[in-house]
Structure 1
Amino acid sequence: MRLALLLLCLLVFAFRSDKPAYRLYDQKLKPTTYTRLLRQAAEADVVLFGELHNNPICHWLELQLTKDLYAEKKGALVLGAEMFETDNQQALSDYVQGRTTGKEFANQARLWPNYDTDYQPLANFARENKIPFVATNVPRRYASLVARQGLAALDTLPADTKRQMAPLPLTVDLTLPGYKAMLDMMGGSAHGGSSGSASSAQANPHGGSSDQAANFARAQAIKDATMAHFILQNLKPGQTLLHLNGDYHSKNFEGIVWYLRQQRPNLKILTLSSVESPNPDKPANESRDLANYVLAIPDDMTKTY
């Protein structure tokens, strides 16, 4: 009896001494496993990995999931990422297909400052295995244009340019919780409801206007809608498209998910949301229902930048 008690104490001590780099939870914050995540990801049409851009655990797990999905899907895997913009698709495809070198790719595409450490391993794995890689994000200059002038500013763009983004006119529902939170943060309001058109400026307590706040949310929406559009454009039956994006673009089943559902209500979508926590063994209750899977990471985890 004493021996059994001693062994139990040792096991408890060993468990408490463990310092996991991450913990995985399901939507209701019940502990789950990577094996289950992989199995369900392989059965999904689209997997949206909501990352924290400077978190090494996110980038490491993205690479592991890519490798394992490639093995599971026997080649029926497609990658997509917010980190590459649609007008750089040719440069990305040329690199992944082995037609250009890494140096040429860096000169041809607008790469994020942390590309070398965080995204190059994924691009290289795609290159080694000839995995299609989709640049899904709207070119940043057009998102910036919307943030400054609203969606109406896109109407004057040439037809070739418009093909680099979601089809216009774009429906933006500013009452969705994610966009509304952006408005509240900036002191704006969801006046105009789902309208994408501009309206007269209204003062807000931060010295700007509610139009400015709304246009900031619309700039987020043109990114979400464009990513959803190019995901669907590049997804074939039987494939799984693993998409990497900032957590805000897919958490709470909004953003990209909302736009995917508008076009393909029956699409099998799996989402993962990344959170930092003082204690990954006990994630905060507000992490509940963020996604199908919640990736809890210690909040003192080292950063990539």
Structure 2
Amino acid sequence: MKKWFSLGLTGLLMGCATQPSSTPNEVQSNALPQTFYDYSITSPQGKAMNIEELAFALRDADIILVGEWHGHPGTHLLQAQLFARLYQQTPNLALSMEQFTRDKQHIINQYLANEIGEKTLKAEANAWPNYDSNYRPLVEFAKQYQLDVIAANAPKSIVRCVGKYGADYLDRLPGVERQWAADTLTLSDDAYHQKFTASMHHGNEAKTERQFAAQTTWDDTMAESMVNYLALHPGKKIIHVAGRFHVAEGMGTASRIQSRNPNLKVMMVTPVSESSELSDSAPDYRVQVMPLPNGYMSKEKMMAAMKKIHSRNNTLKCYE
């Protein structure tokens, strides 16, 4: 028994002292295993950067768009850490969020002023289900340092009705509600429109056009919200968090910002993974993260889930 114990202990010590042979699925002894919280940063030119260098590179931007895969821990960690470093560098900062809508701005303001608690904020401002884990750090940082939070988006009900009836639906909205979406929508056949159309596979052209009108309602409203804020607060800078599709390569929200005020400098920070890259010419700073797990392994289950999502329109109440 002692002989076998001695041999086992010797092998264990040798394993700690020398680098074992490895297969592609094994982790090298000099590298930590990667987790979903880990990320690495590169410049548009491919230069490796740390978070401090990224914040410095973004110092001249008026608006910094930081993309995410909703629910990806690495992208949300990057957003919180970058927010803190940007504030340290430039205190005249505001946070803009896709995750809250214009009609809830007064509730956000009440929370920042300590007039309501977090549970009231979440209930009355329709916080996303992953608020606690992914967006609480951003809002609490803004609250701690008395920074404005811009509820930048259009209400989901309006966006869904645009998707059902088309861009003209906005003309049906009564006065107050009309202010909750952008004054004008960008419906031209630009690169963003083409990218969106290429992602649709149902073959119904009219439906695709209505769906794009809904998509750009988000982008135009978020863009307008930020442009209007900076017009009222000269000297401020904005960090805006939104889904990757809105940010990547400057096609979505960035193009809508610059059509409204071409003098604003907009910069993008976009997540990438081994299965989702950007074009070589994209001006985005890249945040490399692990890819999210596959949502579905069978087309049938995916289609069933999509059908359930689209069934919400059966009870959707739109203005006639």
Q: TM-score range by the shorter chain?
A: 0.7 to 0.9
Moved more, 258-267 or 18-27: 18-27
Letter of the 1:77 partner, please give it.
Answer: L
Indicate the residue corresponding to 2:120 in structure 1.
104
1:292 matched to 2:284? The reply is yes
Q: Sequence identity, in percent?
A: 27
1:246 matched to 2:238? The reply is no
Indicate the residue corresponding to 2:138 in structure 1.
122
Letter of the 1:138 partner, please give it.
Answer: A
Alignment of 1:131-280 (within 5 A): 131-168=147-184, 170-173=185-188, 175-187=189-201, 206=202, 209-235=204-230, 236-277=233-274
Between structure 1 and structure 2, the one with the greater Rg is: 2
Contact between 2:193 and 2:212, CA under 8 Å: does it hold in 1? yes
Shift of 1:90: 0.6
The SS at the match of 1:277 is coil
Indicate the residue corresponding to 2:77 in structure 1.
60
TM-score, scaled relative to structure 2 = 0.77
TM-score, scaled relative to structure 1 = 0.80
- Partners of 1:58 and 1:185 in 2: how far apart? 23
The SS at the match of 1:238 is coil
Contact between 1:38 and 1:69, CA under 8 Å: does it hold in 2? yes
Indicate the residue corresponding to 2:43 in structure 1.
26
In structure 2, runs of 5+ residues without a counterpart are 1-18, 20-26, 296-320
Letter of the 1:172 partner, please give it.
Answer: L
Letter of the 1:87 partner, please give it.
Answer: D
Contact between 1:49 and 1:273, CA under 8 Å: does it hold in 2? yes
Deviations 1:143-172, CA, capped at 9 Å, x for gaps = 10111100111111112111111113x231
Question: After TM superposition, what 4+ stretches of structure 1 lie above 4 angstroms from structure 2?
Answer: 13-16
Alignment of 1:41-60 (within 5 A): 41-60=58-77
1:35 matched to 2:52? The reply is yes
In structure 1, runs of 5+ residues without a counterpart are 1-8, 188-205
Query: Root-mean-square deviation (CA), in Å?
Result: 2.4
The SS at the match of 1:42 is coil
Report the count of equivalent residues.
265
Shift of 1:287: 4.7
Letter of the 1:218 partner, please give it.
Answer: A
Contact between 2:65 and 2:267, CA under 8 Å: does it hold in 1? yes
- Partners of 1:244 and 1:300 in 2: how far apart? 19
Shift of 1:178: 2.8
Deviations 1:81-119, CA, capped at 9 Å, x for gaps = 000011111111111121111122122111111001100
